[in-house]
Amino acid sequence: MLYSVLIISVAGAWSIFGPYGALKYYGMTKELHEILIQNEQLREANTALQQEVSKLKHDPIYLEDVARRQFGLIKKNEVIYEFPEKKKRHQ
């Protein structure tokens, strides 16, 4: 009887704490869930980047807008006027 209880206790502990036990399974399930979430975020970012590349290749107006905003480029015979910002008065 004592031998049976000992074997059942060892088997139970092994099934919970062993290398393929319930704790390991729970940890791997949690890790899988986190990886799936990260994978979906990366897919969304990849899709957004693909759309950006497509717009840059096929939409000249968008390309011009990006060139103006990000790189400060201007067309031939254009002049840029920069005005100083007004300073706020402290009352």
**pLDDT for 73-85, tens place per residue?**
888 898 888 888 8
* Average model confidence (pLDDT) across the chain: 89
The answer to whether residue 91 scores a pLDDT higher than 90 is: no
Q: What is the pLDDT of residue 70?
A: 93
Q: How confident is the model at residue 65 (pLDDT cuts 50, 70, 90)?
A: very high
Cα–Cα distance measured from residue 17 to residue 67, given in angstroms and rounded to the nearest whole number:
59
Please give the structure tokens belonging to residue 56: 């840059």
Q: What is the mean pLDDT of residues 3-18?
A: 79
Domain boundaries, the chain: 33-73
In this model, does residue 46 exceed pLDDT 80? yes
